[in-house]
Amino acid sequence: MKAYQKVLMIVAALSLGLLFVFPMWKIYLKAPQYPEGLELHIWVNKLGGSSESVLQNFNILNHYIGMEPIHPESFAELQFMPYIVIAFMITGVLVGLIGRRNLVLGWSGALMLAGAAGILDFYLWLVKFGTNLDPMAAIKVPGMTYIPPLLGNKQLLNFEALSLPALGSLGIFLAISLSIVTYYFTLKNNKITTAATPEKVLIS
């Protein structure tokens, strides 16, 4: 691998660091009584939101329909996910330093798998919260479940929920795309190329 390709691979690995700076996912709630909106932010290591007390406010609203309160302690993922991300960052940097093309591909594939697993896990949680309702709930709408959307928006009683990946997810996206680009460049190491620059990929 050429020097710039190594650098690119290291950049790919380090871009996962965005996960520690920004949330991965955001769920926006809007209701007539919440003109200012209510946002739940899902980080790799914590839950946050548009205000300090957003979880309490989510839980107060959710308890009427019998949804279990959301507490960060209930999610083991928040404990171990940061280590997985750090592991990916370290191995990614090592892959860059070693400079072997197949390792790049392997790293990229593993990250894709981990990302997919994360999204699946997230979806399963949404289903669990949306369907595991207390039979004593004050508000019971026959047949109604409250699974928030994984992506996009959905009307849940008076709330319009919108779910979107946030800047943290961009870290994963960058890591995957940059590592694939690195791999692609290394394929052409014997030829003179004018391959796509990372910026072009970024635009999407």
Partner 1 sequence: METSIFKLKKLVPKAALLMAVAAGTALQGCSNTEGGSANTAEGVATDAASAVYVAPGKHDELYSFLSGGFNGQVSVYGLPSGRLLKIIPVFTQHGENGYGYSEESKAMLMTSHGFVPWDDLHHPKLSRTDGMTDGRWLFVNGNNTPRVARIDLKTFETVEIMELPNSAGNHCSPYPTNNNEYVIAGTRFSVPLDMKGGTGDVSLDKYEEEFRGSISFIKVDPEKGDMDLDFQILVPGFDYDLANGGKGPSEDWVFFTTYNSEKAGTLKEVGASQNDRDYLAAVNWKLAAKYAKEGKAREMPANYYHNKIDKDSHIAKSTVKKKVRYLLPEECPGMMYLLPAPKSPHGIDVDPSGEFMIVSGKLASAIPVFSFSKMQDAIKNKKFDGEKNGIPVLQYEAVLKGEVKEPGLGPLHTEFDGKGNAYTSMFVSSEVVKWKLNELQVVDRIPVYYSVGHLMIPGGDTKAPHGKYLVAMNKITKDRYLPTGPELAHSAQLIDISGEKMKLLLDFPTVAEPHYAQAIPAEKVAPNSVKFYKLDENKHPHAVKKEADVSVVRESKNRVRVKMTAIRSHMTPDNIEGIQVGDTVYFHVTNLEQDWDVPHGFAVMGANNAETLIMPGATQTLTWVPKKAGVFPFYCTDFCSALHQEMQGYIRVSPKGSNVPITFSTGKKKQNIPGVASTK
DSSP string, 67-124: PPPP-GGG-THHHHHHHHHHHHHHHHHHHHHHT-HHHHHHHHHHHHHHHHHHHHHHHH
Q: Does 132 bind partner 1 (CB under 8 A)?
A: no
Token pair 């989510």: residue: 58
End-to-end CA distance of the chain: 27
Show the binding pattern over residues 17-36: x = contacts partner 1 (CB under 8 A), - = does not. -------------------x
- Contact residue for partner 1 among 30, 63, 101, 140 (CB under 8 A): 63
Q: Does 66 bind partner 1 (CB under 8 A)?
A: yes
Q: Does 52 bind partner 1 (CB under 8 A)?
A: yes
Least CB distance to partner 1 at residue 94 (A) = 38
Least CB distance to partner 1 at residue 163 (A) = 21
Least CB distance to partner 1 at residue 62 (A) = 8
Residues 6+ apart with CB under 8 A from 91: 13, 107
Token pair for 51: 């205000």
Q: Which is nearer to partner 1, 48 or 149 (CB)?
A: 48
- Contact residue for partner 1 among 53, 131, 145, 193 (CB under 8 A): 53
**Adjacency order of strands within the sheet including 152-156:** 47-49, 34-42, 25-31, 159-165, 152-156
Where in 67-126 is the site for partner 1 (CB under 8 A)?
A: 69, 71
- Contact residue for partner 1 among 7, 97, 98, 139 (CB under 8 A): 139
Token pair for 2: 């050429």
Q: Which is nearer to partner 1, 50 or 177 (CB)?
A: 50
Residues 6+ apart with CB under 8 A from 118: 81
Q: Does 141 bind partner 1 (CB under 8 A)?
A: no
Number of residues that bind partner 1 (CB under 8 A): 19
Q: Which is nearer to partner 1, 68 or 160 (CB)?
A: 68
Q: Which residues bind partner 1 (CB under 8 A)?
A: 36, 51-53, 55-57, 59-60, 63-64, 66, 69, 71, 134, 136-139
